[in-house]
Chain A
Amino acid sequence: MQTWVDAVLVLVLLLNFMALSAGRLRTLIRAVTVQGVLLGLLLALARGKWELTVLVMAGATVILKGMVIPRMLFHAVREVVIHRETEPVFGLMASMLLGASGTVMALLFSGTLPVVHGNIGSLVAPAALSTVLAGFLILMTRREAIAQVVGYLILENGVFVFGLLLMEAIPFLIELGVLLDLFVAIFVMGIIIHKISREYSSVSTRMLSELKE
């Protein structure tokens, strides 16, 4: 099981790079969709045994992160967005490079953290941290509101990955991560319901800068 967990984690990391290099909103949303499905798979793999509760949690994760949220995001793109690009602040190549250095830093930093408990794999902590960093990077450097929401979703996925380390000892903590999805839902609903594009002519948060210091 261990090798499978590591293999899936590598896929999760690769998807971070796909998201970082995405120029189009749809590509970005697809990357985060696949990542959501992989997280459900990870949950099932990391436990090692096929228990009902774990399967239910994994299934819920796949449905929520792999189906419901992506569907909402695609809907928002169709309904509201005029520009279908992610509108990065600087070039995509630069954000790839920043993402890569973030991953290296995450690897180095998690090298200094000891393994306290369990044996799910040494890749969990670095994968979690670099996913958090990648999400943060997208959130900070994309002007498009939906791209920012996807960045937040990736950040959240990183937190979720770290939860794998706690799954045996404090299982309910992982479930708390689901509450973060509430924010995503509210953001997307905010974009759709308040028709931010109508008020600002684009959901780009560059337009949302009337309040500047």
Chain B
Amino acid sequence: MVWLLILIPLGFGLAAALVSSNRWRPWLVTAGGLAHLVWTGWSLFGGLKPALAGWLALDPPGRIVLGLVSVLFAVCSLYAPGYLAERRERSNRVFCACLLGMLSMMTLVILSQHLGLLWVAVEATTLAAAPLLYFNHTPRSLEATWKYLLIGSVGIALALLGTFFMAYAGLGAGEEPTLLFGDLAVLAPRLSTPWLHAAFVLLLVGYGTKMGLAPMHTWKPDAYGEAPGIAGALLSGGVTSCAFLAILRLYRICRNTSEAAFASHALILMGLLSMAVAAVFVIRQRDFKRMLAYSSVEHMGVLALGTGLGGLALAGALLHVITNGITKGVMFLAAGNIHRSYGSKWTEDVQGAIRRLPWSGSLFLAGFLMVTGSPPGGPFRSLFGILQGALQGGHTAIAISFLVLLAVVFIGMGTTVLRVVQGAPALSPDPAGSREKACLVVPILLLAGLSLWLGIYLPAPVEQWLQGAADFLEVVPS
């Protein structure tokens, strides 16, 4: 039942909107997240029948993103009750309902095999995310939300124009007009090339904005800087991965046409540009949450680059969706704990986190090491795969710039992260604030363990799904 994957979180979201107890409501998020995880596991191992005349189905790349989103959300949902208990002063009705609504809409993005339906779902994730960013109700969070909505809405409008272009490109191609990804990929050689070209550019810009690729990344530092850690984790690991999935499906359509080379080059260029922008801005970043935003820009660039290179690099990029998403969860949640304890996210005020918050501080450090590609973390394996793909494809210059940019980001992030975790903590006015609760640490430990596990040993089913997705994207359908 494809429908249940979308309806389970939606139902829990509605329930969360109706429950009046501020104390018990967050547990609905946990229940919804775990129910979604169970049903996702069932679908991944048991398979799903398409519904709605093929509009809703689970394709091979969708499996990967669905698995990631469901696991990430489930862990975040374990973190949510503990986090919201610390924020008793504020009603969490909208926050909980929007968290679950966002999960439901992310699932709809993943399952949509129709370009129009996918667009509706992406718009819905944008709208559901806005109240999460505004949770703190400060002037700065209002500004961040405004920017996020304004830039996001332009991206969404351009993606709709791209969808129209794609539809128009296909009008003469088949018997019936169609916007199903599978049909479009088969019809691709007969699509009108100039329209397909324009559609690709518009859709790449539109969904690239949602993904946060440079130069359309400008909403990210503000949004991630002001969002609660849990919202940052879900945006950087979930929503951006869903937007990447849209680009992957677009890429598959182009693979089969004369646009293939252009599509690859555009993705490589945007990928390197995103990494370069991140490298420039991450250096001397005094705000450790904004630093995470630039790290996210960097890794979205890595995904685009890997996809553009194709072959082994594409397989690496698909694995990187999972490893980056999970490791970003570690970093955002740990950063949230540190932020809350110190009441500041500036490195001037935040020092000695590892002494004041031994668990969160260490996890923040571990997350940094893993996300920048240190072995044996999960991202090491996927980044290495992309590098291997670049070298095997004979793109030596790209491989070298990739390594240099990774190194620059490592150094830039390292300076900020070490300043946060090392040193002696400033005199704490509130020693109670430095006690760590298990419910706020164990979920992060789970994610960190998962990332490490994927780095050391890739389970056979995951490997199969990755291989299946890479084949699905690379092999030209006919």
Residues of A within 8 A of B (CB): 112-114, 116-118, 128, 132, 136, 139, 145, 148, 152, 155-156, 158-159, 162-163, 165-166, 169-170, 172-173, 176-177, 179-180, 182-183, 186-187, 190, 194, 196, 199-200, 205, 208-211, 213
Q: Mark B88-131, 1 if CB is under 8 A from A, else 0.
A: 00000000000000000000000000001001100100010010
Contact yes or no, A210 B139, CB < 8 A? yes
Given contacts A172-B116, A180-B156, A187-B149, contact A211 B144 (CB under 8 A): yes
Q: Which residues of B contact A116 (CB under 8 A)?
A: 168-169, 171-172, 192, 195
Q: Which residues of B contact A180 (CB under 8 A)?
A: 123, 153, 156-157, 160
Q: Which residues of A contact B130 (CB under 8 A)?
A: 186
Given contacts A173-B163, A179-B120, A211-B225, contact A187 B150 (CB under 8 A): yes
Contact yes or no, B179 A117, CB < 8 A? no
User: In the complex the two chains form, what is the Cα distance from A200 to B142 in whole Å?
Assistant: 11
Q: Which residues of B contact A172 (CB under 8 A)?
A: 116
Contact yes or no, B142 A113, CB < 8 A? no
Closest CB of chain A to B381's CB: distance in Å?
32
B177 interfacial by beta-carbon distance below 8 Å: yes
B164 interfacial by beta-carbon distance below 8 Å: yes
B194 interfacial by beta-carbon distance below 8 Å: yes
Q: Which residues of B contact A196 (CB under 8 A)?
A: 142, 146
Partner of B167 from A136, A170, A190 at Cβ < 8 Å: A170
B49 interfacial by beta-carbon distance below 8 Å: no
- The 3 closest A-B CB pairs, nearest first, are A117-B171, A183-B153, A169-B177
16 chain-A/chain-B pairs, Cβ below 8 angstroms: A116-B169, A116-B172, A117-B168, A117-B171, A117-B172, A162-B164, A169-B177, A172-B116, A179-B123, A180-B157, A190-B149, A196-B146, A200-B139, A211-B221, A211-B225, A213-B281
Given contacts A152-B154, A170-B179, A172-B116, contact A159 B142 (CB under 8 A): no
Closest CB of chain A to B35's CB: distance in Å?
28
Q: Contacts A173-B179, A211-B147 known; list 7 others, CB within 8 Å.
A: A114-B192, A117-B168, A156-B157, A162-B165, A176-B116, A176-B163, A187-B150
Partner of A152 from B116, B150, B225, B281 at Cβ < 8 Å: B150
Q: Which residues of A contact B143 (CB under 8 A)?
A: 208-211
Q: Which residues of A contact B144 (CB under 8 A)?
A: 211
Contact yes or no, B150 A159, CB < 8 A? no
**Count of B interface residues, CB-CB < 8 Å:** 40
Given contacts A116-B195, A170-B167, contact A152 B157 (CB under 8 A): yes
Number of A-B contacts (CB under 8 A): 110
Instruction: Identify the closest chain B residue to A209 (Cβ).
Output: B143
Q: Which residues of A contact B179 (CB under 8 A)?
A: 170, 173
Instruction: Identify the closest chain A residue to B221 (Cβ).
Output: A213
Contact yes or no, A114 B153, CB < 8 A? no
Q: Which residues of B contact A156 (CB under 8 A)?
A: 157
B161 interfacial by beta-carbon distance below 8 Å: yes
Closest CB of chain A to B136's CB: distance in Å?
13
Closest CB of chain B to A87's CB: distance in Å?
16
Q: Which residues of A contact B226 (CB under 8 A)?
A: 211
User: In the complex the two chains form, what is the Cα distance from A176 to B279 in whole Å?
Assistant: 38
User: In the complex the two chains form, what is the Cα distance from A70 to B153 in whole Å?
Assistant: 19
Closest CB of chain B to A43's CB: distance in Å?
15
Instruction: Identify the closest chain A residue to B165 (Cβ).
Output: A162
Given contacts A159-B161, A176-B116, contact A170 B177 (CB under 8 A): yes
Q: Which residues of B contact A187 (CB under 8 A)?
A: 149-150, 153
B395 interfacial by beta-carbon distance below 8 Å: no
Partner of A139 from B140, B154, B195 at Cβ < 8 Å: B154
Q: Which residues of B contact A132 (CB under 8 A)?
A: 157, 161
Contact yes or no, B171 A169, CB < 8 A? yes
Q: Which residues of A contact B48 (CB under 8 A)?
A: none
Instruction: Identify the closest chain B residue to A165 (Cβ).
Output: B168
Given contacts A177-B160, A211-B222, contact A190 B146 (CB under 8 A): yes
Instruction: Identify the closest chain A residue to B141 (Cβ).
Output: A211
Contact yes or no, A176 B120, CB < 8 A? yes
User: In the complex the two chains form, what is the Cα distance from A155 to B153 in whole Å?
Assistant: 11
B198 interfacial by beta-carbon distance below 8 Å: yes
Q: Which residues of B contact A148 (CB under 8 A)?
A: 150
Q: Which residues of A contact B169 (CB under 8 A)?
A: 116
Closest CB of chain A to B52's CB: distance in Å?
14
Q: Which residues of B contact A117 (CB under 8 A)?
A: 168, 171-172
Contact yes or no, A112 B146, CB < 8 A? no
Closest CB of chain A to B297's CB: distance in Å?
12
User: In the complex the two chains form, what is the Cα distance from A137 to B192 in whole Å?
Assistant: 29
User: In the complex the two chains form, what is the Cα distance from A128 to B161 in whole Å?
Assistant: 10
Given contacts A163-B164, A166-B167, contact A199 B139 (CB under 8 A): yes
Partner of B195 from A113, A118, A158, A169 at Cβ < 8 Å: A113
Q: Which residues of A contact B139 (CB under 8 A)?
A: 199-200, 210
Q: Which residues of B contact A173 (CB under 8 A)?
A: 116, 163-164, 167, 179
User: In the complex the two chains form, what is the Cα distance from A196 to B149 in whole Å?
Assistant: 15
Q: Which residues of A contact B198 (CB under 8 A)?
A: 113
Instruction: Identify the closest chain A residue to B137 (Cβ).
Output: A194
Given contacts A152-B153, A170-B179, A187-B149, contact A176 B167 (CB under 8 A): no
User: In the complex the two chains form, what is the Cα distance from A166 to B116 in whole Å?
Assistant: 13
User: In the complex the two chains form, what is the Cα distance from A138 to B146 in whole Å?
Assistant: 17
